[in-house]
Structure 1
Amino acid sequence: MSIEPKGFQFAVAAAGFKRPDRNDLGLVLSLGPASAAGVFTTNRFQAAPVLVCKELLGARPLARALVVNSGQANACTGEEGLANCRATLEMVAKAVGIGAGDVLPTSTGVIGAQLKMDKWAAAAPQLAASLGTATAMDVAKAMMTTDTFPKLVAKTLSLPAGEVRVLGMCKGAGMISPTMATMLGFILCDADVDPADWQAILRHAADRSFNALTVDGDTSTNDTVLGLANGASRVAVRDAKGLKALRECVTELCQELSYRIVQDAEGGTKVAHITVAGAKSAAQAEMAARAIGTSPLVKTALFGCDPNWGRIVAALGRSGADFDPDAVELRIGGILVFEKGQPAPVDLDALLAPIMRHQDVEISLDLKAGRGRFTLLASDLTKRYIEINADYRT
């Protein structure tokens, strides 16, 4: 049985934007109008596709298609970049027989270069020819840059009116520490959902997934997550109970995608699950978790399998969160490491050595200052990360 939501088709093309040996252009087409939602980067330098996408959604929260290219970010490209972005939508829309205003654009790649419009013109007909033969996995592969594997998750939700399918795909391995979205992600659903409800669902899910991870502390110019809900299942989700169930399903799907991003972090070998509880507020818990998860010293200790808890408490101390240092409790892998202002009186290196060798490492702190809580997924920092980013443009 197909895992793909009903009423969607997929297409890919090898445009040669950066490399001639792979598909680097993808299209998701809804067979009918779909409720459209989006969350975007908060970087002040927003790429042309981000600006155009926000403009289109602001005018009308409906769409028929999502188009994605890798190899060209079309960021920091001025008015020419905006004009080129709109022109690519015209090309794609004409090729597949829909209106340009029904296509939402996304791009990823090197910042600063203008789009190769001749390659777009040649690739648009290839997309049309690929419709109906390509799969969601093909699109997930086409949007990859430094990713080592495609990221795709599918779920089904049983409601009283029938079954609903949800599918998510994303790309991202570096330049990731978002506050509104991840690098690029698409959430597709065949439920009939009001656009305002669909936007609320997507934002809720993003806040608990794509906004709760970090690889390297950098937020891209192009970060975008888009959602389409086309109603092809003929299952209408209007009541509070149904909307809650769909929201939980989409959130769980996005959390699984987020884990795969950190798992595939550029050069990464570890996924740290950093939970800060007992903060004065959720915002303070997030401040503390992010200070720890983005600390180069904590991240390199993770890479070295070094249970250097001092780096964790030092990062917590500079985070800006308000707490009593003598009240803090720190556990790594469930083992009490630090309390009452000092380390636990045991051989911590011996106890923690096997825990630190695992891919997934649990780091839990209780600040004993309130009820605020936040969990962040973070990667380690490796020599390979430096190599990848030193050579990114070659």
Structure 2
Amino acid sequence: MRQSAGVDACTEGKAKGNLTTTRSEERSHSMRARRQLERVGLSASSIERFLHAAVKVDLHVKTVLSLSLATLGVLHSVSLCIHVIGRGMAWARDGSPKHATKQVDRLLSNNNVSPWLLFDAWVRFVVGPREELLVALDWTEFDVDDHATLALYLITRHGRATPLIWRTVKKSSLAGKRNAYEDEVIERLHEILPKATRVTLLADRGFGDQERYAHLGNLGWDYIIRFRECIIVTDADDTARPAGEWLTSTGRAKMLKNVRVTQDKTAIAAVVLVHDKRMKEPWCLATSRADLTASQVTKLYGRRFCIEETFRDVKNVHFGMGLSATHIGDTARRDRLLLIAAFAHVLLTLLGEAGERAGLDRLLKTNTVKHRTLSLYNQGCYWYTADRSPHFIRQIRRFPRRWHTASTEHQCGTVVCMGPRGSGVSGEPTTNT
């Protein structure tokens, strides 16, 4: 019995020693990881500088610091759950998860942080000096909390849409107010952008109505909006048919110019009708871009779906940050959380661009094609989490200069925007990954 007790005591002592060693190793690993992230540029101080450049408003210094730390917590935890953000912040800063979570919670309840007011600086930062924009308007819903978020995002060529403006409202209060909310968001972006900026709006069938066409026309915006097949379309020869009956037998894209829609015969520049073999349903598109061909209009509208992928990055539990699984009762708190998510999204996109400029994207491909197969956002997510690998430690030497270049050249549409050039049709292959 004595010998057994001695063995047990010895074993217990070794276990305690191993536990101490494990904690020591974790702490040293945490310190190494933070040093590596600082070399990349995604430290708390660099994120704070990024936010000062992106949100040039009269915010308290401590508020900007809290925003930067919350963004760091989102990057580190890859989650929008408040307590998980706090744990990620604590891990990155070697602090207390309890106090970090409280800091995030207080930030989300801070009425001085108004995303609606910050959009002035944020939109100008993202858009830069570009003279032509392609934007998508869509709703995304959070049924458990009775919330619906209206998002107006910039369509890009790097695989994801960049958040510009959004607003969350009670879903139960949408009856009779939906169009008013949509007009408010559109007009908010319109008043921020320079008057010379040409904007083309992409939207699905839920936004296709006569009043929307007239409203966008009064603002000087172009549009490509899908509408239902049963809507009456009258051509220049005064022949009226449901939109679905104007489709060709082959389903190839067809454009009708100088047409009128609905029984009220509202005049619009053109209608494009197409039913490609890869489509489940025909597309009936109302557009003011009569300067483009039917094929070009179809391709532009096809790029609208990258806003859905951005929604997935934010909402999905398995493939994103899990916002749909987070209970948030107040719409203002959700908008502030989406602001932090937008900061993290853009930073990861810039990190992916830095890796691509360093030639590291080829290490992520499973094929030999030359074009991009992974979105810059996905590449950035990988390189942020790869700081634990010895391979990343070797490759990270290439990052700092590219990161600085990517983060300072985000304007002119080279990184964050990646918007359409010229007519808005040409550009790199679009990825859905």
User: Is TM-score (shorter-chain normalized) higher than 0.5?
Assistant: no
Q: Which has the higher strand share?
A: 1
Name the larger-Rg structure: 2
TM-score by length of 2: 0.27
